[in-house]
Structure 1
Amino acid sequence: VRPVTNRDIGLKVLCKAPAEAAQSTDIVAIHGLGAHPDDAWCKNDGTTEEPEWVNWLIEDDMLPAVAPHARIMRYGYQSEWFGKEAMQQNVSTVADRLLRALRRKREEFPFRPLLFIAHCFGGLVVLKALLEAEQYKSEWPGVFASTTGLIFFGTPFRGAEGMSQMEMLEAARREYHEDE
């Protein structure tokens, strides 16, 4: 997993909506812990020796094909969860920064339909952001009212009670060790 740098943080437009699209939608993908905001949505269609990375958020025959009138974005945050670069922020901080980025990016069309795709911790960020947007509608115009869809992958809505911290660390060590 490559490190998340300052250039990777924030809301990045991956695919612009066509200018002629009368009714476009904003789709925002938010990655999970320990993932890079661009790599989280990729799969290696090649081999270990000759990788061919496919990002389903941007490939013409994937998400853009089924959502041709959408502006597709991804939100990045510092997501290292152990080691010297471990994140020093909580879900509230990340959610607040997401809301600020959405307000800037959607300034021209704050009530454009909005769909979130979230993985792991990213799902908790989306939920916190939506709670804030619903409670403080004037500060975050259109975010809650325009959210038309939520897609969650592996979001720990009930915590991670099935594993102890040691089991989670051991699983992470195995995962990272295999990637080296």
Structure 2
Amino acid sequence: MASRKSLVLETIYDPGPRGITATVDLVLIHGLNGDYLKTWTHTTTNVCWPKDLLPIVFPHIRVLSLAYDADIYGNTSVTGIRENAQTLLARLRDVRELRHHGRSIVFVAHSLGGIILKQALSIARSDRRYQHLFSATRGFLLYAIPHFGADQSSWLSMAKSFAPVTRRRFSWKGRHSELVDSLTRNSPDIANLCEDFRFLARRFAIVSFYENRMWPGTRAPIVDKTSALLFLEHEEPVPLDADHMNLCRFEDAEDQGFQTTCWYISRVAQGFGHGLDERVLVQIAGGNGVIELEQY
């Protein structure tokens, strides 16, 4: 496994060694102060749903997760949103062999990860090296993406609660990562990217989850509904009863958030709302929380 600071695309689950042909690549992109595994891991049960639960429901989906340095404080990386986006594209191109160029791609992003995703798709559309990735993308599930930014004080308050006591005491007044500045409300960079992306987004299936709970110590959600939605006709807005860090973490297979996520993964993989087959039967098996999907 990669270290938390590495710029790599880590394979979380690969159907190949199990004799199963992968039909979809699911690509995870964590957010600010996140981690390629911990962002998706429940803090009580330690269930990492892309690794522990998703392969049971969708054994034919290969799961990949981008690891990059997204620390708010103590971050010495000079890599910005565009550089991280280019790295994502390069790594994804490398893991998709020539014979798999047509395999569908579904992205799952949290917070800053969605901004990196939007930048990556904007690059892929015009860069010949990555146009096959753009063409293979069916859509994405977006968890609390600050399309229009968020208050800087909220980001810093959230980061402070994760910092070790010694780090709070000695280094908390140090300069924060430039990534925070990029996510501040009314940031020109984020506004321009959002405007450009709205044009591209028409070809993709989009599900936007937004938080309904405040982060402790704040007076409002970190990313409120008005910033978490793109307000596109075909976008599906989904509220989740969780705060910014926990709306993409699920306790077990019976967690309603996980079941909702699986439902939308199945639909996005087919490009719902864009002329592809939408007839998906979803049955939740009684008692075990496993979702069975039948496409016909």
| TM-score grouping bracket, smaller chain normalisation | 0.7 to 0.9
Give SS of 1:158's match: coil
Correspondence 1:96 to 2:86: yes
Correspondence 1:156 to 2:155: no
Gaps of 5+ in 2: 169-296
Which letter does structure 1 place at the counterpart of 2:153?
Answer: M
Gaps of 5+ in 1: 47-52
User: Corresponding residue for 2:234?
Assistant: none
Counting aligned pairs with the same residue, the percent is 27
Per-residue CA deviation, residues 98-128 of structure 1 (Å, 9 max, x unaligned), is 0000110012311210000000111111111
Determine which of 100, 103, 107 is the counterpart of 1:112. Answer: 103
Correspondence 1:77 to 2:68: yes
Query: Matches of 1:112 and 1:157 in 2, distance apart?
Result: 28
Determine which of 136, 160, 166 is the counterpart of 1:173. Answer: 160
Distance 1:5 1:168, change over 3 A: closer
Give SS of 1:142's match: helix
Is the 1:110–1:141 Cα contact (8 Å) retained in structure 2?
Answer: no
Which letter does structure 2 place at the counterpart of 1:146?
Answer: A
Query: Matches of 2:23 and 2:124 in 1, distance apart?
Result: 21
Correspondence 1:68 to 2:66: no
Query: Matches of 2:112 and 2:77 in 1, distance apart?
Result: 12
Is the 1:31–1:37 Cα contact (8 Å) retained in structure 2?
Answer: yes
Give SS of 1:89's match: coil
User: Corresponding residue for 1:126?
Assistant: 117
The alpha-carbon deviation at position 135 of structure 1 amounts to: 1.4
Give SS of 2:72's match: coil
Distance 1:15 1:170, change over 3 A: closer
User: Corresponding residue for 1:50?
Assistant: none
Distance 1:117 1:57, change over 3 A: same
Which letter does structure 2 place at the counterpart of 1:56?
Answer: W
Give SS of 1:124's match: helix
User: Corresponding residue for 2:29?
Assistant: 30
Query: Matches of 2:161 and 2:11 in 1, distance apart?
Result: 33
Q: Greater CA radius of gyration, 1 or 2? A: 2
Is the 2:40–2:49 Cα contact (8 Å) retained in structure 1?
Answer: yes
Give SS of 1:132's match: helix
User: Corresponding residue for 2:50?
Assistant: 57
Distance 1:32 1:167, change over 3 A: closer
**Which moves more between the two structures, 21-30 or 166-175?**
166-175
Which letter does structure 2 place at the counterpart of 1:98?
Answer: L
Relative contact order (alpha carbons < 8 A, sep ≥ 6): 1 or 2 greater?
Answer: 1
Higher relative helix content: 2
